[in-house]
Amino acid sequence: MKYIRWLSFVMVFVLLSGCAGKAAPSALTPINLPMGYVANVQFSPFYVGKERGYFEKAGFDVTFDYRWETDGIQLVAAGEIPFAIASGDQVIQARSRGLPVVAVAAWYQKFPVAIIALGNTPLRSPADLRGLRIGIPETFGASYIGLRALLKAGGLSEADIKLQTIGYTQLAALTAGTVDAAVVYANNEPVVLAREGTPFNALYVSDYADLVSAVIVSNDTMVREHPKEVQAFVTAFLTGLQDVLDDPDAAFAVCAKYVEGLEENAAAQRGVLDTSIEFWRAAHLGRFEAAAWEEAQKVMAESGLLEQTVPIETLFTNKFVK
Amino acid sequence: MTSSGMRTSNGTYRQTPFRNLPFYLLSVGLVFLAWQTAVLWMADTPRRFLLPTPQEVLARFWKLIGNGVLLHNAGVTLLEMGLGLLAGTTLAIVLGYGVVHSRMIAYVLEPVIVTSQAVPIVALAPLLTVWFGSGLASKVVVCALVVFFPILVNVVTGLKSIDPRLRDLFRMLEAPRHKVILKLEVPATLPAFLAGLKVGGTLAGMGAVVGEFVASTQGLGYLVKQGQNLYDLPMMFVAIFTLMGIALTVYGLLSFIERRALRWSVQDTTATYSEEEQP
């Protein structure tokens, strides 16, 4: 009897241990989310979404992956990962090459590229760019498309300026005087200059052209066969975005966990966040306007970046946005 | 070894050019076979967007040859490599000579040179673009920095390995400095120097591409970057294969120069095998 009692005890213990071991299977789908840039306060909607459990509630265990946006697009096209963050022009570029990617939610509502010049170089209108030595990080991507849009708005062509590819050294190049003006991200370098008290002039692309900007990217298979997952992810992102718009102070505090050295550069980074927020505001968060895609594709085609244009309706969908 | 060498009249074996050609062709063939297999394996899956087919790459190659884009960009990279190799080699020879012959120079420079190699060139390249501009100069400087160290190390090793008795002999004969350099130091250092030059020459391509990745509008590194950002994978592959071809050509050319320049030593050392040494 004593043995039977002991045996029962051991069996119950073993069963309970087994249950405890199996109790952990997570229903969450782990995903790496390519961000396209280094950890930055600009990603606060995603940080807030993760920190407040919106992605978890949507069924995703999100890990932020700060790889290049082109890599992210390729992995999404290949079905290796379901989502990525990228600029709309990359979706157009990829789609024109046959990659089955599609934008499922808008993030930036205004194109965040500008051209800045220091001191006395006047930049009152795009026509003032004529004859200037303009530095640009690359001759593709959002910076280049923004430049081409501004040139078009000023009735200019690339032959009217002296374009120099300078990598991401815009402020150094401007300070050293190797260029007269530089193409920058409107929510970054101008904020730094303003904070330093350095006088500058700026032309913002969004004042002259309505181009599609940063978006959430997925692929045709996800949209067609797993719409619930896409809907859940988009909803989680938009909830995080709305939270940031409603309470930037709290969002900034959340960023400290994800952005190394944020506290040491708090004032400047807060400026970046506040400026970024102005590019995110919209009457309908996440919603695309077809005209912005059309304009972006037109600028890209005129710039020689596309071998072929694609039907606008294949580039994006508003079905996951209320 | 005996089957691939040429037997000479005095019973020794000398290496013959292209003796390993079948093996090279076999390895290239195996790579292409693996590539084609991977393409076929991924053909009906979305993963096909991650790897172009050999046919696509070949078609892109002919197109880039036809419109002159490949030759122009390869020429730019070769120019950067050549100037960088020249600058880096010159600097390595001068500083190497100084380090060996002056204790003060050695004490001052060695820590700087060694620690400078701990800084990844990709971290320095953006700064060099600011300091030297986004044109040819910054790429040449990156190349020079990349090739400098291996050549310097070999120059120093070569100079330090000279038999002290030979130095004593030249001293006893009261040979002037230029005679010591020309008749003793240059011949004695040449094998090590050329070995370093082969490494440096191959690395020069990497230096050029690093510089082009930071900021450029031409060059093979630019083509790779442009291909990546335009999702033109075949163009990326063409540029990468061209870089590999250039590296192999540079290595082969420097090996040829090495064999010609060291003919006097080859008879007695590595590339000659005595009858007794044959397996």
B150 and B237 fall within a common domain:
yes
A235 and A144 fall within a common domain:
no
Q: Given this model, what pLDDT does residue A8 score?
A: 56
Which domain covers residue B155, as residue numbers? 53-274
Chain A residues within 8 A of B47 when measuring between CB atoms? 78-80
- The residue among A186, A207, A228 that closes a domain is A207
Tokens of B168: 């004593």
Residue in the structure block whose two tokens are 């946005």: A321
Q: DSSP states of A208-239 as a string?
A: T-----EEEEEEHHHHHH-HHHHHHHHHHHHH
Least confident among A53-67, A274-288, B3-17, B29-43: B3-17
Higher per-residue confidence, B5 vs B108: B108
| Interface list for chain B against chain A, based on CB atoms closer than 8 Å | 45-50, 126, 129-130, 133-134, 214-217, 225-226, 228-232
A253/chain B closest Cα distance in angstroms: 30
Q: Given this model, what pLDDT does residue B247 score?
A: 93
The answer for residues whose C-beta is within 8 angstroms of residue A259's C-beta and 6 or more apart is A39, A40, A41, A269
Is there a contact between A215 and A86 (Cβ–Cβ < 8 Å)? yes
B92 and B24 fall within a common domain:
no
Q: What is the dihedral of CA B8, B11, B17, B22, to 10 degrees?
A: 120
The answer for residues whose C-beta is within 8 angstroms of residue A294's C-beta and 6 or more apart is A312
Model ipTM value: 0.73
Residues A4-54 have pLDDT tens digits of 565 555 555 544 444 444 444 468 999 999 998 889 999 999 999 999 999
| Domain membership flag for residue A71 | yes
| Domain membership flag for residue B279 | no
A102 and A216 fall within a common domain:
yes
DSSP state of B215: S
A136 and A219 fall within a common domain:
no
Q: Given this model, what pLDDT does residue A127 score?
A: 95
Strand order in the sheet with B5-7: B5-7, B13-15, B272-273
Tokens of A254: 């959340």
Chain A, residues 100-159, CB within 8 A of chain B, namely: 100, 135, 137-141
Q: Given this model, what pLDDT does residue B272 score?
A: 44
Quote the Cα angle for A236-A241-A246, to 5°.
125
Nearest CA in chain A to B228: A70
Nearest partner of B215 among A143, A300, A231, judged by Cα: A143
Q: Given this model, what pLDDT does residue B230 score?
A: 86
Q: DSSP states of A126-183 as a string?
A: GGGGTT-EEEES-SSHHHHHHHHHHHHHTT--GGGSEEEE--S-HHHHHHHTS-SEEE
| Residues pairing with A65 in the sheet | A34
B19 and B140 fall within a common domain:
no
Give me the amino acid identity at B267: Q
Give the mean model confidence (pLDDT) for residues B132-158. Answer: 92
CB neighbour burial string for A166-181, b if at least 16 within 10 angstroms, e if fewer: bbbbbbbbbeeebbbb
B178 and B43 fall within a common domain:
no
Nearest partner of B225 among B82, B121, B77, judged by Cα: B77
B37 and B102 fall within a common domain:
no
Strand order in the sheet with A113-118: A162-165, A133-136, A181-185, A113-118, A200-204
Q: Given this model, what pLDDT does residue B133 score?
A: 83
A139 and A180 fall within a common domain:
yes
Residue in the structure block whose two tokens are 């090495």: B258
Spacing of C-alpha B35 from chain mean position = 26
Residues B166-224 have pLDDT tens digits of 989 999 988 898 899 989 999 999 999 999 999 999 999 999 999 999 888 899 999 99
Higher per-residue confidence, B8 vs B192: B192
B38 and B83 fall within a common domain:
no
Q: Sorting pLDDT into bands at 50, 70 and 90, what band is B229?
A: confident
Tell me how far apart the alpha carbons of residues A229 and A231 are, in angstroms, rounded to a whole number: 5
pTM for this model (two decimals)? 0.79
Nearest CA in chain B to A220: B46
Element (H, E) at A38: none
Q: Which of B1-5, B77-81, B146-150 has the highest mean predicted lDDT (pLDDT)? A: B77-81
A183/chain B closest Cα distance in angstroms: 14
B94 and B197 fall within a common domain:
yes
Tokens of A59: 């069924």
Q: Given this model, what pLDDT does residue B126 score?
A: 86
B47 and B130 fall within a common domain:
no
A218 and A74 fall within a common domain:
yes
Chain A residues within 8 A of B69 when measuring between CB atoms? none
Number of neighbouring beta carbons within 10 Å of residue A92 = 28
**What's the CATH number where A166 sits?**
3.40.190.10
B96/chain A closest Cα distance in angstroms: 34
Helices then strands, counting H and E runs in chain B, come out as 12, 3
Number of domains comprising chain A: 2
**What's the CATH number where B197 sits?**
1.10.3720.10
B145 and B269 fall within a common domain:
yes
B62/chain A closest Cα distance in angstroms: 18
Tell me how far apart the alpha carbons of residues B206 and B147 are, in angstroms, rounded to a whole number: 10
Q: Is residue B269 over pLDDT 90?
A: no
Do A169 and B47 make contact, defined as CB atoms within 8 angstroms?
no
Q: Given this model, what pLDDT does residue B49 score?
A: 83
Mean pLDDT of each 10-residue bin along chain A, 322 residues long: 54 48 65 91 96 96 92 93 95 94 96 92 93 92 93 94 90 90 93 89 94 95 96 97 96 93 87 94 94 94 89 96 84
A237 and A105 fall within a common domain:
yes
A74 and A199 fall within a common domain:
no
A120 and A105 fall within a common domain:
no
Which domain covers residue A151, as residue numbers? 113-207
Do B229 and A70 make contact, defined as CB atoms within 8 angstroms?
yes
Number of domains comprising chain B: 2
Pairs across A and B, CB distance < 8 A: 68
SS3 B260: helix
B58 and B43 fall within a common domain:
no
| Residues pairing with A165 in the sheet | A136
Q: Is residue B263 over pLDDT 60?
A: yes
Nearest partner of A136 among A154, A175, A162, A110, judged by Cα: A162
Q: Is residue B7 over pLDDT 80?
A: no
Give me the amino acid identity at A274: D
Is there a contact between B47 and A80 (Cβ–Cβ < 8 Å)? yes
| Residues pairing with B273 in the sheet | B13
Tell me how far apart the alpha carbons of residues B214 and B126 are, in angstroms, rounded to a whole number: 6
What integer best gives the mean pLDDT of chain B? Answer: 86
Tokens of A168: 């991401």
